[in-house]
């Protein structure tokens, strides 16, 4: 079974000392019969105590604070995770029976967080597109895979044309984006049909074939089916999530799964660097690695940018 070693480092450098930094991290991979964490080490500047709890969506979430003055903050996750193959999903029930179960009051109320689509002016256009693809005489999984293929064929994978604030109307108009946008769009389309679905953040590990977004943070969707539970669908690569998709957090949308966020008092200006590196052998902690993204808090006009939005934008552009 493949074992992936993942090193994820977030590094802030401030223009002067800052204090009272409080951070929240979602860097702890989910565990089940298909994904086993062999070991994980979280290192943080000054080695504060990290308190963990399970959030509303079941994600392990860490919290820590740095009270004393500091000029930099780095958060690093060293992870070894074993990925096990998933059995082929069986379609034992008739399509109509599965659709009836999905649209039952029990499922609709039980998964109320995951079935309501957001408001969008292009909703009618999307309903028409969904209606042409998702047929009640086809198994829901086959229909959803067809939607994933539709996104793959009709939307261009292009970095820099969207931001974390890009909504469904803009994605639909642009017909382009990155994996976060494609996951967002698939969730919207699936929810229009009342199928429970959730956002997944994690990593897509390099393999024998080249996939879009591999070797970095990644995003895809999971849909809930009565016969199988949560099933991962990656519209960026027109495939089901498998042994190369390492799940870290799930939620209704990207904001529920943000890897790092927090506040501090002090300098407005800072530089943010993020690095994600993969290997099939253990990392040397002292090994130097180059950042894959660098963001400065000061824009071209000299005006400080919102550091949290800058960080979210950085995460989105890695995908």
Q: Which fold has domain 95-256?
A: C8orf32 fold (3.10.620)
On the question of pLDDT at 267 being above 90, the answer is: no
* CA–CA gap between residue 80 and residue 283 (Å, rounded): 10
**Residue 106 CB contacts under 8 Å (≥ 6 apart), including other chains:** none
**What's the mean pLDDT in 100-113?**
96
> pLDDT tens digits, residue range 145-186?
999 999 999 999 998 898 878 999 999 999 999 999 999 999
Q: Which of 77 and 213 is assigned the larger pLDDT?
A: 77
Most confident segment among 199-203, 284-288, 305-309: 199-203
What's the confidence (pLDDT) of residue 134?
87
On the question of pLDDT at 118 being above 70, the answer is: yes
Band (285; pLDDT cuts 50, 70, 90): low
Band (310; pLDDT cuts 50, 70, 90): low
What's the confidence (pLDDT) of residue 316?
46
Band (37; pLDDT cuts 50, 70, 90): very high
**What's the mean pLDDT in 273-283?**
86
* CA–CA gap between residue 234 and residue 152 (Å, rounded): 9
Q: Are 178 and 158 in contact (CB under 8 A)?
A: yes
Q: What is the DSSP letter of 305?
A: P
Distances (CA, A) of 54 to 43, 63, 138, 178, 210: 20, 11, 37, 29, 34
User: In which element (H, E) is residue 228 found?
Assistant: none
Q: What is the DSSP letter of 118?
A: P
On the question of pLDDT at 296 being above 80, the answer is: no
* CA–CA gap between residue 167 and residue 184 (Å, rounded): 9
What's the confidence (pLDDT) of residue 111?
96
Question: Mean pLDDT in the chain?
Answer: 88
What's the confidence (pLDDT) of residue 190?
96
> pLDDT tens digits, residue range 204-219?
988 767 788 777 789 9
Q: Do domains 3-84+258-318 and 95-256 have the same CATH topology?
A: no
Does the pTM surpass 0.75? The reply is: yes
Domain 3-84+258-318: assigned CATH number: 2.60.40.2250
What's the confidence (pLDDT) of residue 214?
73
What's the confidence (pLDDT) of residue 301?
53
User: In which element (H, E) is residue 273 found?
Assistant: strand 270-279
Taking the domains of the chain in order of start, what are their residue ranges?
Answer: 3-84+258-318, 95-256
- Distance of alpha carbon 279 from its chain centroid, rounded? 20
What's the confidence (pLDDT) of residue 31?
94
* CA–CA gap between residue 250 and residue 163 (Å, rounded): 20
Most confident segment among 40-49, 268-277, 281-290: 40-49
What's the confidence (pLDDT) of residue 266?
86
Tokens representing residue 73 in the block: 């903050």
Band (309; pLDDT cuts 50, 70, 90): low
What's the confidence (pLDDT) of residue 90?
82
Q: Which of 298 and 67 is assigned the larger pLDDT?
A: 67
Band (70; pLDDT cuts 50, 70, 90): very high
On the question of pLDDT at 110 being above 60, the answer is: yes
């Amino acid at each position: 079974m493949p074992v992936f070693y993942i090193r994820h480092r977030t590094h802030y450098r401030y223009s002067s000392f800052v204090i009272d930094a409080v951070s929240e991290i979602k860097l702890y991979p989910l565990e089940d019969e298909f994904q086993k964490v062999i070991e994980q080490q979280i290192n943080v500047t000054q080695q504060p105590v990290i308190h963990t709890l399970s959030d509303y969506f079941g994600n392990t979430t860490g919290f820590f604070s740095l009270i004393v003055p500091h000029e930099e903050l780095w958060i690093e996750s060293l992870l070894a995770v074993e990925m096990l193959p998933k059995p082929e999903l069986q379609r034992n029930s008739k399509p109509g029976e599965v659709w009836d179960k999905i649209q039952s009051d029990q499922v609709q109320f039980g998964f109320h967080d995951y079935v309501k689509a957001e408001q969008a002016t292009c909703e009618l256009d999307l309903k028409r597109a969904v209606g042409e693809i998702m047929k009640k005489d086809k198994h829901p999984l086959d229909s959803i895979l067809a939607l994933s293929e539709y996104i793959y064929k009709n939307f261009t994978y292009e970095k820099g044309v969207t931001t974390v604030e890009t909504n469904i109307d803009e994605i639909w108009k642009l017909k382009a984006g990155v994996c976060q946008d494609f996951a967002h769009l698939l969730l919207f389309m699936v929810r229009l049909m009342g199928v429970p679905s959730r956002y997944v953040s994690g990593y897509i590990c390099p393999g024998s074939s080249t996939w879009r977004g591999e070797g970095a943070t990644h995003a895809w969707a999971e849909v809930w089916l009565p016969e199988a539970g949560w099933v991962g669908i990656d519209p960026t690569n027109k495939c089901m999530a498998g042994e190369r998709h390492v799940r870290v957090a799930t939620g209704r949308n990207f904001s529920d799964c943000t890897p790092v966020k927090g506040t501090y008092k002090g300098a407005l200006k800072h530089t943010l660097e993020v690095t994600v590196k993969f290997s099939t052998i253990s990392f040397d902690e002292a090994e130097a690695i180059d950042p894959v993204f660098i963001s400065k808090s000061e824009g071209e006009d000299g005006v400080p940018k919102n550091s949290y939005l800058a960080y979210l934008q950085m995460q989105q552009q890695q995908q």
